[in-house]
Every structure is written in C-alpha cells, then in structure tokens.
Structure 1
C-alpha cells in the first residue's frame, strides 16, 4: 500500500510548501485540501492548478486524495451541510461540491472525499436527513459523471452516517457506481466499531483510507500514530492481508502548530513498524 499525509494539518503553510515538506518526509502522496487557505475551488484558477501539478512532479509526489469535506471558507468543518433545512444554505454545499469535482478533474485525480450528510438538524428526523442527503448528491452526480470523478462519502462521529451499517443503508439507497466510501479507521473506532471488521464490511466500496490514532476513551480526537488506543499495526496488517494497494493517508489536522514535526513523527512510526 502507499502512504500519504493530509494537508489539512498545514493551514499555516501554502500548498506548495506543504507538498515539499510531505515529500521530504518520505511519503508517496499528499491529500490536497480543497479549502482556504489552500485550494478552495472558487479561488483556484488554471495557473494555481498548473503550479500544484508542477510542484507535485518536481517532488515525485502523487495526490492521495482531494479533501472536499472541510468548508471553513464558508463556516466550518460541517456547515453548510447537505442536509441544512435552509435550502439556499444547503445549496452552497452542493455548489461547492460541484466545483470541487471540477477542480479534482483539473488536477487529474479520480475522487474527492465529502462529509456524510452533516449533523442531523434537531427538528428533523433521520429519515428526512437521509432522503435530503440522497437528493443533494443526486444533484451533484451529473457533474461527477461528466468529469469522471468519484464521491467518497466519509462516515464520521455525530454526523448522519457514523457506522458501517449506516453507510450500507445509504449506499444501497443511492445506488450509484461513483458513490464510494472514504474509510476513516479512527472515526469507526470512535463510534465503537472494530476498524478491521468494518473494513471487511465496506471493502468493496473503499479506494482510499484515512488513518489516525484515537484516545483510549474513544473520543473523536485525531492523535499521533502510536499515542492512542487503536491497534494501528493490526489494522494495517489486515489491509495488507486483504491485498489493499491504494493510499492510506495519515490525517492529523489538530497538529497545525507542529505540522512539520508531526508529519515526520508519523512517518517514523510507519518506518519503525515496517510499513514504509
């Protein structure tokens, strides 16, 4: 398998510096951040795209994923979501996702990762939220088809889709070959699942994996590899046994103040344990 590191820990750097730092640390790829201050699609012109591609080539680095989950350029990680009761506000997430698909295509990448609906509004039912999420993606999918870029829905604690079973319920309802799963092992651990068993359940939908450690109390806090309670080696071993050959991207966005050291420490863990 290949290893990447997510640029969402590098908000204090520009995307070009980030690429160089991640490459210097020994990774195979970088997860690009489709948000400010990096590659927010409405701000990303052809010149920026070409410079990113040139910087990747100069550093022999691939794109591991295009992260279109976070949206701090508008409000925050989770809002606007695909299930906002305010249809105009919801449309801002939909339009952002369409732009993200086009930006990924311009960068010659095959997929983006997106949030799993969003937080269910207090006044709405789960069924309403699920139907609204499907309707929102049905508006996005014609663009995905046009540009040939898949949507990787990422289960996350406290959002509409948290577990492997909830993902299956959703994906069977939307039933589209370009709707896939961004498998975040730590997220599934946080909601009480065994990441190995969850991967076995969802593997047919998985082309990209996020990895971080999680504290012993399973709170959703992205933690440096080896400093939490997850069996990182057991999970990577299961991926290896299953023949997984795609990217595993380490995602440690809370470490903005120490991003350059954090990316090296994560690689040191992977190398020490024989994965990289």
Structure 2
C-alpha cells in the first residue's frame, strides 16, 4: 500500500488545524508537520497548542509522520542561518536549541521522526571545522533524543547535500536514533544517477520527501510536471522493502494547495500502481 503524507509547509496560508483537515480530505494518511510561525512556532508552542493539534489529527483520522525542523527564516533574516556549522559558537548553539525544541515538540505530539539539515558552509569556514562542528552538534542532539528519531535531509548547496554524505555520517554514529530523510527531488538535482542514490540509501532511510523536478533545476514541481521517473522510483522502494511514508513537499505551491494536494496524490498512486503491476 502506498503510504502518503503531505508537508504542511505547503499549506502555510491556513491554520494548522485547517491544514490537517485539507490533507485528510484529499486522501492522505499522514501529514508532515513543519516549524513555521503560522503553524508551529517552536518558541511559543505549548501544551494547549499540542492538545488542539492532537485533537485535530484524531478528529480527521490521520497521523503526523514527521516534523520538519528546517524552516528557512526562524532564526534570522538570512535563510537557514545560523546553522549547525555557523562560524560562531553562539550561532551553532541557537540552531542546536531549535532542533532540541523540535525534538521536544515531536515527543509531546507523538511524532516519531524529525528532519533537519546541516546548513550551508560559509566561505570562511573550512571543511574540517564544518565537519567537526556538525559532529559535535549531532552528538548533543542524539543525546537529547527521547523516543524521537533524527533524520538528516541532504539539501542542494548545503554542507551535506547528498545521500552518500549523510549515510556516511549515519554509519559513523551507528545509532537507530540517527537516520536519513531522503528528498527525491534533491537527489535528482545533486546526483548523477538519482535512482541509484535512492537505492543505495534506503537502508538508512526513515522518511522520503517527494516532489518533481524539471531537468536538474531546484524548483519543487507537482508530481507529474517534471522529469522524475516515479514508476522506477517506486519499483526500487518496493524491491528493497521500504515501508515508510512518501511525503509530498510543495512549499512553493501554497497559493493553490488544493490542486497540489489532489494532483499529487492521484499521480503518485497511478505511478505506484503501475510499478506494482510491472
């Protein structure tokens, strides 16, 4: 069975409880929650907010499969900064604190996984320092986990931008609390053979985000509007026994989220069925 989710960052124009309803009404089994002031503000989200959100999830009959902790402007006007590899200790501490807050919120909501990213290596930061700071931050975050799994999402242009880089880190730490959040579109942008990358990395993967890509341009397209071979992708996932969620991420289609919701699930189901029948 195709297990579908939709990332709430594509429904920022409505309150989070309305986002839950819209995702459920479109036929998805799950929602990927996202840190955004419009939905979950990590600095103000409290027990009453958690109760309201949990009640909405129960009322509409879907689960929260993941919490995305990589919102681009929560900490500063500079996108994705400060990061886990920021040049200053204060900056790195602010990002670690944010991810810890995400872990705590996920635990309160019963969300099993959070995803996060390494950040962008600034020109004045050496690769050696970036690697050291990232590993120091990861150690502290893994120690903070309490029933919630960390999933690193490779991002084009970031210090960790490929599945192979993330899996190498995951193998070094060798703990079930640290996994990979694959993003199929990012694989298409970064990898020469994106399907081979997916296949190599499934063993470490806890959730997969999906969107379509035209060429190798990093712009999230509705599935079916780009060049990704979803049928081959689903065939690989089935052959390797992946049983997690496929979470559609279309943050740049929030102005017409209803169409994006419906078109995405219809196309993904069609391609999944074709892969199953092949």
- TM over 0.5, yes or no? yes
Show CA shifts across 1:139-197 (max 9, x none).
222211xx211110011110011123222332233343311000111101101343331
Find 1:90's aligned residue among 80, 92, 113: 92
Consecutive unaligned residues in structure 2, runs of 5 or more: none
SS of match in other structure, 2:206 = strand
Match of 1:191 in 2: 190
SS of match in other structure, 1:41 = coil
Matched, 1:149 2:151: no
The TM-score, its normalising length taken from structure 2, stands at 0.93
Q: Residue 238 of structure 1: CA displacement?
A: 1.4
| 1:156-167 correspondence to structure 2 within 5 Å | 156-167=155-166
Match of 1:253 in 2: 251
| 1:1-276 correspondence to structure 2 within 5 Å | 1-75=2-76, 77-115=79-117, 117-144=118-145, 147-216=146-215, 218-275=216-273
Cα separation, 1, equivalents of 2:173 and 2:92: 19
Cα separation, 2, equivalents of 1:270 and 1:140: 34
Cα separation, 1, equivalents of 2:217 and 2:128: 26
Cα separation, 2, equivalents of 1:260 and 1:73: 26
Consecutive unaligned residues in structure 1, runs of 5 or more: none
Partners of 1:66 and 1:113 within 8 A in 2? yes
Partners of 1:114 and 1:153 within 8 A in 2? yes
The TM-score, its normalising length taken from structure 1, stands at 0.93
Q: Residue 272 of structure 1: CA displacement?
A: 3.6
Show CA shifts across 1:81-133 (max 9, x none).
10000111221110011111010000111110001x11111012222111111
SS of match in other structure, 2:168 = helix
Question: Residues 126, 149 of structure 1: CA spacing in aligned structure 2 closer, same or farther, 3 A cutoff?
Answer: same
Partners of 1:233 and 1:273 within 8 A in 2? yes
Cα separation, 2, equivalents of 1:169 and 1:125: 19
Partners of 1:36 and 1:72 within 8 A in 2? no
SS of match in other structure, 1:42 = coil
Cα separation, 1, equivalents of 2:171 and 2:79: 26
Cα separation, 1, equivalents of 2:79 and 2:235: 31
Partners of 2:163 and 2:182 within 8 A in 1? no
4+ aligned runs moved over 4 Å, structure 1: none
SS of match in other structure, 1:210 = strand
Partners of 1:210 and 1:248 within 8 A in 2? yes
Show CA shifts across 1:22-66 (max 9, x none).
100000100001221111222111111111111011111111211
Show CA shifts across 1:224-262 (max 9, x none).
101111111210121122222110101111112111221
